[in-house]
Amino acid sequence: QLQFVESGGGLVQPGGSLRLSCAASGFTLDWYAIGWFRQAPGKEREGVSCISSTGDRTNYADSVKGRFTISRDNAKNTVYLQMNSLKVEDTGVYYCAEVLKGSTIVAVPGWYWGQGTQVTVSS
């Protein structure tokens, strides 16, 4: 199965920025569309953004449009999520996963979620 390692989370004040990374080891990412998801305490996991295998297509949840940017560097086997103008409601554990296609933020059926990386936005 595919396995990714998320990193880059932390504590940041509202209005601040973080850059999350989703890295893969032992295989090549370039064939896979990847999405970012998050889960806040007491809430269901939700899709945040996704990107096609080549990076030509992206999609964002309405709540993050204009603030977050997804990108990828296939040579480094890494997908990024640049998070700007962070809000308290962005707080949660962020995960990356393979998605069905680069234009839709839906994880492939049966995806085994990793540990994620914690993002906390607080003053």
DSSP string, 67-90: TEEEEEEGGGTEEEEEE-S--GGG
Find how far residue 79's CA is from the centre of its chain.
Answer: 8
3-state secondary structure of 22: strand
- Are 95 and 39 in contact by the 8 Å Cβ rule? The answer is yes
The string of pLDDT tens digits covering residues 18-64 is 999 999 877 777 789 999 999 999 999 999 999 999 999 999 999 99
The string of pLDDT tens digits covering residues 83-103 is 999 999 999 999 999 998 878
